[in-house]
């Protein structure tokens, strides 16, 4: 898991994020629906279990994404 840069959202806009992990064999696998999503502030955007992020209000927040014992923001 690696982090992304700042991503601007409009209120009401939804984007689908993809989460990938690298296996011990060096293969990249899609773990989007297996990852856990945690907004730190909770009021600027919402996150669905499929990685869909929707802007709720103006402001800034961090999104922590966890999978396999690792977390990135």
User: 34-64, pLDDT tens digit by residue?
Assistant: 999 888 887 888 889 888 989 999 888 888 8
Spatial contact of 51 and 35, defined as CB atoms under 8 Å apart: yes
Cα–Cα dist 8/29, whole Å: 26
In this predicted model, what pLDDT tens digit does every residue of 6-30 receive, in sequence order? 778 889 999 888 889 999 999 999 9
Cα–Cα dist 51/33, whole Å: 7
Torsion of CA 3, 48, 16, 72, to 10 degrees: 0
């Amino acid at each position: 898991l690696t982090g992304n840069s700042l991503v601007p959202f409009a209120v009401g806009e939804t984007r689908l994020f993809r989460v990938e992990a690298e296996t011990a064999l060096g293969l990249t696998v899609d773990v989007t629906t297996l990852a856990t999503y945690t907004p730190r502030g909770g009021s600027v955007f919402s996150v669905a279990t499929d990685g869909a992020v929707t802007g709720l209000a103006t402001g800034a927040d961090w999104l922590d994404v966890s999978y396999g014992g690792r977390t990135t923001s």
